[in-house]
């Protein structure tokens, strides 16, 4: 069968706007998920059992249920309970941020626990408070070791953004779906977005490699 990519490129604005939305959601959720994940990690290593139980329960919920189910609960279920409607972008950002935070919290917790105990002892001997110790000494060292895992989480977010097409968000996959409806061709649009995803992942990996060398 003859391939015809001209039928895809004439609808390039669909792919352009879909790619922008994909990158926007990935960037926002990666940052928010990282920040919330740090908070959850600190909760899990705290001395207060109720906080530890909450952190473990939160993580078990988001790691134990499918991401698509979580997205449906947020986008379709929350409006029923709260009485207001979320846009597809808002639902995606909220769901992916909460889900990513659960995974990031475990990554960060492992990194913090991997920091030599002598760092804690030295900080306390110098009279450094717990908050400053974590912010200036422990977490920076932990991030250095867990950076590859954080990059993998960001890559996972980038690819998982495709499930937003289920609720109607016009990201890359939805853009390809629209092109297939207009052109009645399937292989070319899906191949094009596969290449776009691959390029995005390669760029992200290259940036992460440079960042890792700089941190080291």
Q: Residue 19: what pLDDT?
A: 95
pLDDT, tens digit, 9 for 90 and up, residues 31-40: 999 999 999 9
- Residue 88 pLDDT grade (very low, low, confident, very high; cuts 50, 70, 90): very high
pLDDT, tens digit, 9 for 90 and up, residues 159-198: 999 999 999 999 999 999 999 999 888 999 999 999 999 9
- Helix-helix angle 139-160:88-113, to 10 degrees: 150
Tell me the mean pLDDT in the region 101-121. 90
Query: Per-residue pLDDT for 214 more than 90?
Result: no
Measured between alpha carbons, how far is residue 152 from residues 68, 88, 100, 202 in Å? Answer: 19, 25, 11, 12
Query: Per-residue pLDDT for 1 more than 70?
Result: no
Between 141 and 91, the more confident residue is 91
């Amino acid at each position: 069968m003859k391939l015809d990519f001209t039928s895809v490129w004439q609808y390039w604005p669909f792919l352009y706007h879909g790619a922008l939305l994909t990158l926007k959601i990935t960037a926002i959720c990666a940052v928010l998920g990282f920040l919330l994940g740090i908070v959850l990690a600190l909760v899990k290593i705290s001395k207060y059992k109720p906080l530890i139980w909450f952190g473990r329960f939160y993580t078990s919920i988001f790691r134990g249920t499918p991401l698509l189910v979580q997205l449906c609960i947020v986008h379709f279920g929350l409006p029923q309970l709260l009485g207001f409607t979320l846009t597809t972008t808002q639902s995606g950002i909220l769901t992916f941020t909460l889900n990513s935070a659960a995974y990031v919290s475990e990554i960060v917790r492992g990194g913090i626990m991997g920091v030599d105990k002598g760092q804690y002892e030295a900080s306390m001997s110098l009279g450094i408070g717990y908050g400053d110790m974590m912010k200036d000494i422990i977490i920076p060292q932990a991030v250095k070791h867990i950076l590859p895992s954080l990059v993998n989480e960001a890559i996972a977010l980038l690819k998982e953004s495709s499930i937003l097409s289920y609720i109607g968000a016009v990201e890359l996959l939805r853009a390809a779906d629209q092109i297939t409806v207009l052109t009645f061709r399937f292989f070319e649009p899906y191949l094009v977005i596969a290449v776009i995803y691959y390029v995005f992942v390669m760029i992200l990996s290259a940036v992460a490699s440079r960042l890792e060398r700089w941190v080291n």
